[in-house]
Amino acid sequence: MAQIKEQEIFVNPYVVQMDKFADSLQHLSKTFLNMEAYKGTLSREEIDEMFEKVTGNVCAGCERRGECLGEKHSVTYQMMYEILCAAEEYGAELNMELKRRLKRQCLFAPRFLRESLEEFENAKQILMWNHRLVQAREGYARQLTSFAKMIQYTTRELDAGIFQDDHLEKRIKAALKKENVKLLSVVFYMTQQGKYEVHLTVKAMKGRVVLAKDVAFLVGKCIGRTMIPRQGERLVIGEEYGTIACMEGAKFQTLQGVARIGKGLEEISGDTFLMKDLPGGRKGVALSDGMGSGEEAFRDSTMVVEMLEELLEAGFPVETAVQMMNTALVTGREEVKFCTLDVCLFDLYQGSCEFVKAGASATFIKRKKEVEKIESTTLPIGVVQNIELDREERNLESGEYVIMVTDGVMDALPEGSQEEKLVEFIRETDIVNPTEFARGILSQVLKSSGGMPMDDMTVLVIGIWGLS
């Protein structure tokens, strides 16, 4: 009982330090949000300043200056205010009645009108830049908050997952020694899914070279679970100390295939895809369709996919990763540039898949002769600052397929029955190989549309199989 209380009282100093770091980020985020807010309209002081500039430029040499800026000051001010209101609603083309009134009242009516409209345009530009600055600050503030939360979450997850097991460490050390591998240190980690990760610092003895997979196999025998080197680890252990991470082998594997064609048979496609092994026994597949087609659309969709790959590989939650990419697309751009984003995250331990969509076409799951459709109602990324995502999760069985397509595939099918037609193609195929499966779907769609692609078209097929 006393030991439990001691554990509850003890707080890892590294966790405390990272909490301080996270608190600093959150404080900075609040500072950004508490700065100058968005201004939707001109203030009275700004309108007064515009009036002073216009009358100072136009009325300086006018014989009626004293009258217009004296006893008729309110009338002159009202006239300029009406010009600004009309320009806001109709643009520079003011109605004839307002122009006639201005001409009767002002000896320099054309110049007064021109100067007023110029000052108004300058003020609108300032408002626009103010809005962009506020928008950028809000985006950065959200990202800082996301960073802070992720730091706190990850730190606590690592702190909770790392454990000591002296008996297991001795068993591993002895088993490795028999194979001429010297163990310097070991760190045991249990993931949230209850899976082992073992980080070993080792070297081979007596001039030997040992395969990393053999080291992982020995560790697995000691633990009583199937262990493999983590993706990207070194293949061999030499005479120099090096650290390798071993993780539990997954129960499922995926095989994937792609078929694609550019608009008008162009070589460059605006569609970009990602297929990546991720930490924690996950597989990430993403498909992005840039606005338009060709090289410019390719640049935008490639930027999105490459950024997503880096963030997911670093361990960022998919929602945070997508929000960061959205901020990058929205902030500092003269025009709207958007990309659809379709993400499938496969859990190869559980045999499940999380579907995350932003403005993407429907995704399909083929279960023998049944086809399930997962749709999206959200906007693409790059349109608005606060993006909403569609999220679904499904359990998959061995031999089932996930099919992802871009808008160009859907748009090539008969209007009004696009999804039904694609479901029919998917249901009727007996192809097992994912690459041939994807090519078969694209071929069917092209036949249905006359053979010439009117937009970039991409089909991804991911099959999942159990490992015996």
Q: 38-60 pLDDT, tens per residue? A: 666 777 777 778 888 888 787 87
Find how far residue 189's CA is from the centre of its chain: 29
**What number of CA atoms fall less than 13 Å from residue 255's CA on the CB side?**
13
Q: Among residues of the chain, what percentage have pLDDT more than 70?
A: 91
**Overall pTM surpassing 0.75 (yes/no):** no
At 18, the pLDDT band (50, 70, 90 cuts) reads confident
Distance CA 246, CA 26 (A): 35
Domains of the chain: 10-159 (no CATH), 166-248 (3.30.70), 252-466 (3.60.40.10)
Q: Which residue has the higher pLDDT, 287 or 268?
A: 287
Cβ atoms of 117 and 53 within 8 Å: the answer is: no
Give the per-residue pLDDT at 293: 66
Cβ atoms of 202 and 184 within 8 Å: the answer is: yes
At 433, the pLDDT band (50, 70, 90 cuts) reads very high
Helix axes 44-58, 109-161, angle to 10 degrees: 150
Cβ atoms of 285 and 255 within 8 Å: the answer is: no
Cβ atoms of 387 and 435 within 8 Å: the answer is: no
Beta bridge partners of residue 274, listed in sequence order: 286
The pair of structure tokens assigned to 381 is 């990324």
Note the pLDDT tens digit of each residue in 262-283.
887 776 777 888 999 888 889 9
